[in-house]
């Protein structure tokens, strides 16, 4: 039993068809509990008032936006090295989700920033690098759309994903160099004392778990759609040949 067995689309479809409802259900539970807890059962912050509660969407979305690219990097590598179709289809399926997460993080940040910083947008390193990440997603998706042959598209986007990862990281630190920040430090970290107070942190962890599960469910769902679409195309091609 190894993970590579799921490279077989049939095995993947079988397994994902019974995993998907569970992941979806768990994601829904975690999100509903976490968001309700976060929105209604935590106290207002003494300085930020109730605006602090946007953290329950902003932080998980931002984390998923970055982790989604990391996942695409891994699956692209797997495709380039072992040529497993499911892997690259998962990368294709994940890209729009990651892009949406980036947008959510940018928008919730703007909504929070308006009352707190007095501005919707500032050219702060974190904000800027998120905008840049959004551009990288845009290019990746556009390349998928533009190339007609699926295998060529898979190869080209995988190479773009690898090179893009290097440059995205470079941009991240270049931006840090270019402008000093307005954004606060990390909300959560494993090794430091100073972060969000526990009252806020517990529901936050729950919503993060919810976003992760939600992301997994969406990726599974969209990958299944991609596999079905490809099967459909193969069937149509066979019909035409016959």
Partner 1 sequence: MLALLLRDLRLATRAGGGFGLSLAFFLIVTVLVPLGVGPEGGTLALIAPGVLWVGALLACLLSLDRIFALDREDGSLDLLATAPLPLEGLVTVKALAHWLTTGLPLTLVAPVLAVLLNLPPAGYGPLTLSLLIGTPALSFIGAFGAALTVGLKRGGLLLSLLVLPLYIPTLIFGAETARRGAEGLASETPLLLLAGITLGAVAILPFAAAAAIRVNLR
Residues at the site binding partner 1, with contacts judged by CB under 8 A: 132, 135-136, 138-139, 142-143, 146-147, 152, 155-156, 159-160, 162-164, 166-168, 170-171, 174-175, 177-178
Nearer to partner 1, 148 or 194 (CB): 148
Please report which helix (H) or strand (E) contains residue 56, including its range.
helix 55-82
CB of 98 to partner 1, least distance (A): 14
CB of 156 to partner 1, least distance (A): 5
Closest Cα partner for 211 from 43, 52, 55, 39? 55
Cα gap 92→85, rounded to integer Å: 11
Burial code (b: 16+ CB inside 10 Å, e: under 16) for 195-204 equals bbeeebeebb
Nearer to partner 1, 138 or 199 (CB): 138
End-to-end CA distance of the chain: 38
CB of 103 to partner 1, least distance (A): 16
CB of 237 to partner 1, least distance (A): 19
Q: Using a CB cutoff of 8 Å and minimum separation of 24, what contacts does 44-50 make?
A: 45/200, 48/116
Structure tokens at 100: 């949406």
Nearer to partner 1, 28 or 147 (CB): 147
Nearer to partner 1, 105 or 175 (CB): 175
CB of 131 to partner 1, least distance (A): 10
Nearer to partner 1, 56 or 136 (CB): 136
Among all chains, which residue has been given the structure tokens 């069937």?
235
Closest Cα partner for 97 from 231, 228, 221, 229? 221
Cα gap 58→111, rounded to integer Å: 10
Nearer to partner 1, 32 or 142 (CB): 142
CA quadruple 137, 140, 144, 145: dihedral, nearest 10: 60
Cα gap 64→150, rounded to integer Å: 27
CB of 149 to partner 1, least distance (A): 9
CB of 148 to partner 1, least distance (A): 9
Nearer to partner 1, 140 or 211 (CB): 140
- 24 in Cβ contact with 211 (< 8 Å): no
């Amino acid at each position: 039993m190894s993970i590579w067995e799921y490279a077989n689309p049939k095995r993947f479809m079988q397994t994902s068809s019974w995993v998907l409802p569970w992941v979806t259900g768990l994601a829904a539970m975690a999100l509903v509990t976490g968001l309700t807890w976060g929105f209604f059962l935590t106290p207002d912050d003494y300085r930020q008032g109730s605006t602090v509660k946007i953290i329950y969407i902003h932080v998980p979305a931002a984390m998923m936006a970055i982790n989604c690219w990391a996942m695409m990097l891994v699956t692209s590598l797997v495709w380039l090295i072992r040529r497993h179709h499911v892997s690259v289809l998962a990368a294709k399926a994940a890209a729009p989700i990651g892009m949406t997460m980036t947008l959510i993080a940018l928008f919730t940040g703007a909504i929070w920033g308006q009352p707190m910083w007095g501005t919707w947008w500032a050219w702060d390193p974190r904000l800027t690098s998120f905008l840049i990440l959004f551009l990288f997603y845009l290019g990746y998706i556009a390349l998928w759309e533009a190339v007609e042959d699926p295998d060529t598209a898979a190869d080209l986007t995988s190479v773009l994903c690898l090179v893009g990862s290097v440059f995205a990281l470079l941009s991240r630190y270049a931006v840090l160099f270019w402008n000093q920040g307005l954004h606060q430090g990390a909300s959560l970290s494993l090794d430091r004392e100073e972060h969000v107070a526990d009252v806020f942190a517990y529901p936050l962890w729950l919503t993060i778990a919810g976003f992760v599960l939600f992301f997994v469910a969406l990726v599974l769902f969209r990958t299944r759609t991609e596999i079905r679409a490809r099967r459909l195309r193969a069937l149509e091609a066979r019909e035409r040949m016959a």
